[in-house]
Amino acid sequence: MPANKAPTKASPRTSAKTTSPLPPSKDAIALLTADHEEVSQLFAEYEGTRSITNKKALVAKICTALSVHVQIEEEIFYPAIKAALKDELLVPEALVEHTGVKSLIAQLEVIEPDGEMYDAKVKVLSEYVKHHVKEEQTEMFPQAKATSLDMAELGARLATRRDELLTHLAR
Ligand SMILES: [Fe+2]
Ligand SMILES: [Fe+2]
């Protein structure tokens, strides 16, 4: 019997990685919108709790999520939007609003959740954030989508930076 079988070439690819693919990363708008939803959910939970322990835990989560969110927007998203839109209005206004958010976060981080001022500060923070998120989602994001910015690439950078900051905060 002729051994006419061509020698099988050992393919270097046969042992190629077969690990399951990473979940598709979110584009920038989807990532930031998901952050907004997460924080809104946490504020809703706060409204529904009377327990001081739960309040403190929820505020810690809110402050972490918001601090990281505003930082990645300021470092990555806003500069990209500002440049792409040649914007002199939306981003500066958003930055002023971030300052208000950060100030309330700083105040909440140093007081105990046992007085009426705590609830008042959380309430005002929630109203601030609601207003700010509405402006981003109804004005800034639609305008951003209309630019030629690569939202997938921007989303990947936001996600990487968010992970870095969360890791740093968890230390
Ligand atoms: Fe923002
Ligand atoms: Fe935002």
Cα angle at 41 between 167 and 162, to 5 degrees? 20
Q: Which two tokens stand for residue 20?
A: 């399951």
User: Residue 117 Cα, ligand 2 centroid: separation in angstroms?
Assistant: 25
> In terms of CATH, what superfamily is 28-170?
nmb1532 protein domain like (1.20.120.520)
| pLDDT given at position 116 | 87
> Which ligand ends up closest to the CA of 32?
2
User: Residue 155 Cα, ligand 2 centroid: separation in angstroms?
Assistant: 13
Instruction: Tell me the average pLDDT across 131-137.
Output: 98
User: What is the model's pTM?
Assistant: 0.85
Q: Which two tokens stand for residue 28?
A: 């920038």
Domain positions in the chain: 28-170
Residues 87-97: tens digit of each pLDDT: 999 999 999 99
Select the more confidently predicted residue: 104 or 21.
104
Lowest mean pLDDT among 14-23, 43-52, 121-130: 14-23
